């Protein structure tokens, strides 16, 4: 890490151009990846990332420079470049640095760096066996194990100095099933802000079996109908619909650019009264959690929507100071090469009062979207198209035949207003969230929810 004396020098040089705020972001990361395909370990990689970014603000203007050469000369030169680009008129001194303590709320029991590659490879092979042995219809399996340990130091001209360590561990299994005519895939990919003890919670063999089960089930499924109908969306990764279709529109930069359908709607009803939505970077060991964000602000729980009423947006330092308020701890960046921007952490629809079984039984004729996968979203409007990776018809209040090829089509804010039941089985799921060319760990989530009507795209018109 950098000495406090050097940090002060960097910040002071950065302010010489007339900026009114300067920040240093130091990162030291190690990443390990193992991949298996066709029952063979194909890649074993270890990557290192070490560097420093310097950001200077002058009013609304931002200048940024970074370097992977952390010698004093290089760091001061980087600070000078960032400061010169700011072209402000302020002549400020750096406040005395005060080290900020962090309460450990994301304990790590087994640091991935202390686990041998052989142990990691054995887990990958176990997942592969679990999938291949599930059914003869499984023709191919791909498994990826990944862990990352990121140490950061953030300091700024207002006197902040803080350090944080984030550890992420994940396994992703994809199984391919084929009957000679059709091909279907299934996937399972748990991940947490946790060490190797992740696999005390999730057994690799069972992950392989689950991916294979999805693939075989969809291979035997009927073509999806096409119609407007009630849709029950399962808990966990089903929350990706809210994340993509609504979450990005609740980030403060979109609001301030007036490029969000949620702009100017704080205090107004934007969802059904049974919907409460939250962004919470403090959830213990959750994939999107941390001690402090990439600007040094403590992670926090932000209620975005409560009982259908819009409460707040997600802010970083820059967007918060534009409105003379405090950041919500959502300033995040891909690495030291990137500027921080408002980003989600663990964003989810909160648990409700209904039992999942009662939600299913409330539907006479509809769709059960057990698992969603990728989709497309227009951020400004919330218009979306999402693929149902695993779906079933609901008939007379019971889950019936599996269907494949279904898509959900709609507008995020419309779906929020059509949610009539919210389950009590909240669950989070990991993902990598992309925005402005940056990718960060972010968890999505929700309980089981009933949307009274969504357009379902399929290959057969309902009733044919």
Question: Are 306 and 449 in a shared domain?
Answer: yes
Q: Is the pLDDT of residue 459 over 90?
A: no
Do 97 and 68 lie in one domain? The reply is yes
Taking the alpha carbons of 250, 256, 261, 266 in that order, is the dihedral positive or negative? positive
- Both 229 and 340 in one domain: the answer is yes
Quick one: 268 and 133 in the same domain?
Answer: no
Is the pLDDT score of 374 beyond 90?
Answer: no
Q: Please check whether residues 286 and 178 belong to one and the same domain.
A: no
Number of domains within the chain: 2
Name the domain boundary from 197, 219, 241. Answer: 219
Total residues found in the chain within this entry: 464
**Full-prediction pTM beyond 0.85?**
yes
pLDDT band at 91 (very low <50, low <70, confident <90, very high): confident
Q: What is the pLDDT of residues 229-266, one digit of tens each?
A: 999 999 999 999 999 999 999 999 999 999 999 999 99
* CATH code, domain carrying 116: 3.30.2290.10
Domain with 10 in it: 4-219
* pLDDT(464) > 50: no
Give the separation between CA 163 and CA 7, rounded to whole angstroms: 13
User: Of 165, 200, 219, which residue constitutes the final position of a domain?
Assistant: 219
| CB count in 10 Å sphere of residue 364 | 10
Q: What is the pLDDT of residue 378?
A: 87
Instruction: Verify that 317 and 398 share a domain, yes or no.
Output: yes
Q: Dump pLDDT digits (tens) for 317-368.
A: 999 999 999 999 999 999 999 999 999 999 999 999 999 999 999 999 999 9
Average pLDDT value for the chain: 96
Helix %, strand %, coil % of the chain (to 5): 20, 45, 35
- The answer to whether residues 39 and 45 touch, using CB atoms and an 8 Å cutoff, is no
**Is residue 280 located within the same domain as residue 381?**
yes
Q: Rounded to an integer, what distance in angstroms lies between the CA atom of residue 395 and that of residue 401?
A: 9
Q: Where are the beta strands (DSSP E) in 362-459?
A: 365-378, 383-395, 398-404, 407-411, 419-422, 427-435, 438-446, 449-457
CB count, 10 Å around CB of 180?
7
pLDDT in tens, 163-195: 999 999 999 999 999 999 999 999 999 999 999
pLDDT tens-digit series, residues 391-414: 999 999 999 999 999 999 999 999
Instruction: Please name every residue paired with 31 in a beta bridge, in sequence order, or none if there are none.
Output: 47, 148
Same domain, 233 and 127: no
Q: Write down which residue in 200, 219, 238 finishes a domain.
A: 219
């Amino acid at each position: 890490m950098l000495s406090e004396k050097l940090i002060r020098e960097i910040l002071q040089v950065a302010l010489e151009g007339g900026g009114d705020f300067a920040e240093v972001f130091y990162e030291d990361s190690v990443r390990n990846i193992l991949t298996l395909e066709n029952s063979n370990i194909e890649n074993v990689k270890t990557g290192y990332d070490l560097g420093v970014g310097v950001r200077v603000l002058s009013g609304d203007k931002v200048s940024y420079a970074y370097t992977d050469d952390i010698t004093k000369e290089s760091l001061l030169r980087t600070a000078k470049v960032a400061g010169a680009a700011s072209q402000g008129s302020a002549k400020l001194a750096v406040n005395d640095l005060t080290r900020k303590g962090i309460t450990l709320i994301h304990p790590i029991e087994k640091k991935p760096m202390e686990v041998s590659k052989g142990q990691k490879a054995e887990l990958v092979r176990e997942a592969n066996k679990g999938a291949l042995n599930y059914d003869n219809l499984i023709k191919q399996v791909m498994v990826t194990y990944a862990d990352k340990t990121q140490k950061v130091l953030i300091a700024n001209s207002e006197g902040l100095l803080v350090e944080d360590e984030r550890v992420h561990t994940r396994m992703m299994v994809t199984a391919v099933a084929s009957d000679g005519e059709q091909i279907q895939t299934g996937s399972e990919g748990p991940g947490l802000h946790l060490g190797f003890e992740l696999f005390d919670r999730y057994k690799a063999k069972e992950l392989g079996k689950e991916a294979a089960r999805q693939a075989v089930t969809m291979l035997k499924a009927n073509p999806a109908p096409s119609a407007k109908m009630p849709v029950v969306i399962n808990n966990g990764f089903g929350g990706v619909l809210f994340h993509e279709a609504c979450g990005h529109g609740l980030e403060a930069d979109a609001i301030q650019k007036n490029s969000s359908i949620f702009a100017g709607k704080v205090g107004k009803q934007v969802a059904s009264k049974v919907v409460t939505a939250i962004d919470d970077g403090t959830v213990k060991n959750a994939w999107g959690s941390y001690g402090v964000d990439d600007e040094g602000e403590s992670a926090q729980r932000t209620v975005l929507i409560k009982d259908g009423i819009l409460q707040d947006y997600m802010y970083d330092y820059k967007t918060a100071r534009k409105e003379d308020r405090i950041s919500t701890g959502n300033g995040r960046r891909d690495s030291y090469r990137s500027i921080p921007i408002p980003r989600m952490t663990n964003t989810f629809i909160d648990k409700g009062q209904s039992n999942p079984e009662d939600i299913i039984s409330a539907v006479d004729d509809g769709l059960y979207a057990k698992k969603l996968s990728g989709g497309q979203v227009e951020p400004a409007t919330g218009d979306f198209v999402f693929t149902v990776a695993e779906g079933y018809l609901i008939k007379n209040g019971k889950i019936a035949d599996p269907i494949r090829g279904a898509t959900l089509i709609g507008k995020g804010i419309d779906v929020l207003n059509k949610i009539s039941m919210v389950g009590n089985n909240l669950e989070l799921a990991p993902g990598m969230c992309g925005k402005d060319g940056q990718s960060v760990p972010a968890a999505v989530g929700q309980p089981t929810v009933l949307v009274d009507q969504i357009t379902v795209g399929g290959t057969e018109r309902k009733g044919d």
